[in-house]
Structure 1
Amino acid sequence: MGDAEPDALTAARADVPPCPGAWRRAPYGEREVGGARCRVLAVDAGIGAIGMRADGGSVRLLPETGEEPGC
């Protein structure tokens, strides 16, 4: 999956902030959660993150790690 799918998702939701965080744009950082690689679409510091599975496109809440996810 390229960046077009997550870019379309974040652009479509640009008027609805992931409280209190912000939507990101490509290039996306990635994080592995439960054995699945996820692109990080938004981060709410101290709360968690919103990610999209890199292999299938499903969107999920990612647990807080205590620091910003990296690439």
Structure 2
Amino acid sequence: MVKYTLVLNGRHNGPTINFLPIEPQVGQLLHTADPKSPYYLIECITQSIDDEFVELHVKKFENKLSAVNRVNGFY
């Protein structure tokens, strides 16, 4: 089973994510159902050979409004 970790500014950020409903791709936004929670834009995806962890290098936005204003094509 693949596990995901968020990498923000070169550092692991937050808990390990054991499940995502979709396979993550560069350019997608990750967030919880709460519009006031942080949104994360996936900028790069890395995985080492024979490693169960996939690193999602992300850019963090404070909330949905911040992401809408700064991500082209997101509304």
TM-score by length of 2: 0.30
Q: State the structure with more CA Rg.
A: 2
Structure holding more strand per residue: 2
Higher relative contact order (CA 8 A, sep 6+): 2
